[in-house]
Amino acid sequence: MEWNSKDQTFDRDLHAFRAFHECDSIDAAVLLARSASLDTVFEKLGPELDRDGNPRLDGKGRPRLIESKYGASTTWMGKLPYRVNAGRHGGCPVLAVGITPELMTDREEYDREHA
């Protein structure tokens, strides 16, 4: 499992699934990735913090927001379907699961505390 890698990681993983499946090493593969709906959660997280709890700053002296780490070129569900539809996984069955805000067990508590 990887989190927030560059989207080319999907290509590497799908090709690996294909090779493992063709060698009878695996029967199926599972990919967990964030859904686009997590973007609203990231927007509420605020700035990155250093070890002392101070906001990290960008080159212009502004706080670096956590949400900026989750851009369109990272591993999220929007970058996966066309790769699977292109057959990059070969004959290996792939279960792709998109993580949504509804899967966060403490989300309502967090929303109340950070409203």
pLDDT digits (tens, 9 = 90+) for 52-63: 999 999 899 999
With 80 as the cut, is the pLDDT of residue 33 above it?
yes
Q: What percent of the chain has pLDDT over 90?
A: 49
The rounded distance, in Å, linking the Cα atoms of 73 and 108 is 29
With 80 as the cut, is the pLDDT of residue 45 above it?
yes
**pLDDT band, very low/low/confident/very high, at 44 (cuts 50, 70, 90):** confident
pLDDT top residue among 24 and 108: 24
Amino acid at 114: H
- Name the residue with tokens 């792939």: 94
Long-range own/partner contacts, residues 19-23 (CB < 8 A, 24 or more apart): 19/90, 20/92, 21/89, 21/90, 21/91, 21/92, 22/90, 22/91, 22/92
- Contact between residue 17 and residue 90 where contact means Cβ atoms under 8 Å apart: yes
Q: Kindly report the average pLDDT of the chain as a whole number.
A: 88
Degrees to nearest 5, angle at CA 67 with 33 and 72: 55
Q: How many CB atoms lie within 10 A of CB 30?
A: 11
**pLDDT band, very low/low/confident/very high, at 73 (cuts 50, 70, 90):** confident
Q: At a CB cut-off of 8 Å and minimum separation 6, what does 77 contact?
A: 33, 34, 35, 36, 96, 98
With 70 as the cut, is the pLDDT of residue 98 above it?
yes
Domain extents in the chain? 8-101
